[in-house]
A and B are shown apart, each in its own frame.
Chain A
């Protein structure tokens, strides 16, 4: 007979629920028999990160913190997708909605909160959602895919993140806010105005001082009517006006409930066997809606339950806020509304959009608001929490840690290096300096790896700067900082995603327009951004934008591959790897005529002619054109080759006509410019002789049809493909191929191959976009439109027919016996 372990049952599998399990197991992983009940049908994820998911900057998989496997592996029983009907405190069991009962010795309530739904007329219309869980995010992204206009009620943190996410997904997005300052609980008016403008730059319109009266529409939302009579059209309406602690069924079971479930300093409710943590709890009169207090509560409760520190108490948490809107740097902590005895130090730089304000009381920092430059947020917060006397550093405090320490003769990283090991670095996840350094020493040499390993800076991100400093002083110069979305280049602060979106939304159709609208810091960009912008423009506006050769790399301008001696190599297209006696003869003649030193068979089943002089290029092309050959684009960020095996026409194993499909794929897609080079292959059977599973798009034929694979490449980092789908007919394989190419063209960043692109956006994103027949057809249609313009042979355009291609020859030749300069016109 085994001894019955003490049973802990947790209601709620959100951030608090997942965290308390982890904290208990960390202290004692054998003592308890743990069960967790969650209403959402999935395991635990990081709810704060729903905003990046909505904005398409992260995938759901990336924000899972405790997976089903994790619970299973730790022997935790899970009941996901179940509601708790009632808590029988006398019998000490909970009753689930299907009637089953689960007995407990200790019960932990981690039920979180519910979004507040305004009781407006029309709030039951379709298309009215909250922003709270994954189901809401799904509903919002689906609505965004249909386009139209989104209206978000509530200009707090959550509402703004929702509005930004929807704008980023292509909707016209408007925020309706009751008072005249956005995020008025965290921001003062000056910072609120800057935020309003920054959001406008990102496509979010703010309507302030606006009271909602009714949601209008027949069956589906059509607009929001304001008290002043204005009606704002909307195909999606998001209510983000706040949260309310979720207190049922605690309340009906007789626990003391005010706004939240009342707990003492050890998280105990009015029933000594029942505890409450997170947003459903009310501690010392306060209900919290942020993550840091949850972690503090979980640590206290785990210490108490496991008796590791039976006297631990929770004393409340000071909180900091950071807005998760890409490119908007905003931080707020403590009190900033001033008050008796408070003094302000304010720094403004309107030109750079920087505003900083710190609030001081009795030589202690009590609050801060930072906009535009928020890297010092963590430092201020630390000074605030420790209650340090700031009088000695007051004169430089507003300029931040680096300046303050430098003037005190201290290198900021030295200061951090000198911290004791038990100094807390990440308040969200309770990670000390010693743990971060140990994680770095264990080989986690980037911010992301440290985040993945010890969770430091993985939640709110406010300690990112400190973790980076620790990386820097532990690893030395080999560490390179990474923050926010990486700018396209040094000419701009904007990342690729922002630039692509702006080109479409602001209808920017020339390079100077883009640079003007997005405030490029250089007159005509640089060798990094110009090719990227040129590509983004030709992809967005195939008919209207005129390709700019001066913004292309030499190879794409000269339609051949430059070699280290300044000569070029030339690769004619061989459809699906097929050639003929006529083509081979023409190639041989070119080699003889231009005295080319080398011919090589490429890995993509074609021939590469080396050592062509620049001035000979047009003549070489003319000869190859005459034999029916066109440019192989072996030099371009474009469709390169389609490698094939011989397939069912000859091979005894072949299941389909792989060569024929390869030729068709190449004929459909050649000439299309892409973010990076793009290779395809078609194998006639699973033996995969054409190596289709290391291509950007690979087809493996099987008896029953065609397996479509994506995202493979050889290259520095070998990556095998992911299986996209399986289709039955050749026509479908072609359709999916074209749609995939177009999705990659429209979504990936310049110089990002399909492999890193898919790793970034997630395979599911690609599957979702392509699985829907209408979206797939729309992608194909846009691809075909682009092909009408771009599927032309650049060689034929430049080959000397009537007029000699001047730009391929020197302006003048001053060597002995050479031709004189061209005369004036």
Chain B
């Protein structure tokens, strides 16, 4: 119903299943995606892999619109996937289009 020419919106679960300031994983054939909810109830999705050494971002501490990787504390923007602060410009995690409709989380996947 929300079909788009290029993006296939996939329902991955209820929005309330992701707690504030935390993340849940969505397993896909392309690798795991981390779905985040910020303190301001904004939702974001990025691939669950830190550009530094592949750490699982979904296990990090969510602060503002950023996530601190649990392995070496890189800070990654949830909006752009770019590394922030001291590590800015050193790497980027692919982001995934996301929208919340009727309390459901939809990921824009093209696979």
On A, residues with C-beta under 8 Å from B are 522-527, 530-531, 550-555, 557-558, 562, 564, 566, 806-807, 810-816, 818, 821-822, 824-825
Contacts and interface: CB of A to CB of B under 8 A. Distances in A.
Contacts of B17: 806, 811, 822
Interface string B9-23: 011111011111110
Contacts of A550: 19-22, 61-62
B27 A825 contact: no
A477 to B, nearest CB: 14
B35 A527 contact: no
B59 A814 contact: no
Contacts of B53: 564
Contacts of A555: 70
Contacts of A824: 14, 103-104
Contacts of B60: 527, 554
Nearest to A810: B25
A235 B10 CA distance: 69
A526 B68 contact: yes
A600 B54 CA distance: 25
B108 interface: no
Point out which of A551, A564, A807, A814 has the most chain B C-beta atoms below 10 A from its C-beta: A814
Contact of B28 (A526, A562, A815): A815
Nearest to B25: A810
Given A810-B27, A811-B105, A821-B13, 19 more contacts: A523-B64, A524-B64, A526-B61, A527-B68, A553-B61, A555-B70, A557-B59, A562-B56, A562-B59, A562-B71, A564-B53, A566-B54, A807-B24, A811-B35, A812-B26, A814-B26, A814-B27, A815-B27, A822-B14
Contacts of A523: 39-40, 64
- Give the dominant DSSP class at A's interface: loop
Interface residues of B, number: 43
Given A811-B13, A814-B26, A814-B29, A553 B62 contact: no
A144 to B, nearest CB: 36
Contacts of B93: none
Nearest to B105: A811
Contacts of A522: 63-64
Given A531-B61, A822-B17, A811 B25 contact: yes
A551 B13 contact: no
Contacts of A818: 27
B77 interface: no
Contacts of A551: 21, 61
5 contacts: A526-B68, A554-B59, A814-B27, A815-B29, A825-B16
A812 B106 CA distance: 11
Contacts of B104: 824
A450 B25 CA distance: 51
A822 B103 CA distance: 13
A513 to B, nearest CB: 14
Nearest to A557: B59
B12 A814 contact: yes
Contact of B63 (A525, A552, A812, A822): A525
Given A824-B103, A824-B104, A813 B59 contact: no
Interface string B61-95: 11110101011010100000000000000000000
B11 A821 contact: yes
A824 B12 CA distance: 10
A825 B27 CA distance: 21
A555 B60 CA distance: 10
Interface string B27-62: 111001001001110000000000001111001111
B76 to A, nearest CB: 11
A825 B75 CA distance: 34
A110 B3 CA distance: 90
A525 B38 CA distance: 12
A807 B17 CA distance: 9
Contacts of A564: 53, 71
Nearest to A820: B11
A561 to B, nearest CB: 11
Given A566-B55, A810-B24, A815-B29, A530 B63 contact: yes
Contacts of A562: 56, 59, 70-71
Contacts of B61: 526-527, 530-531, 550-553
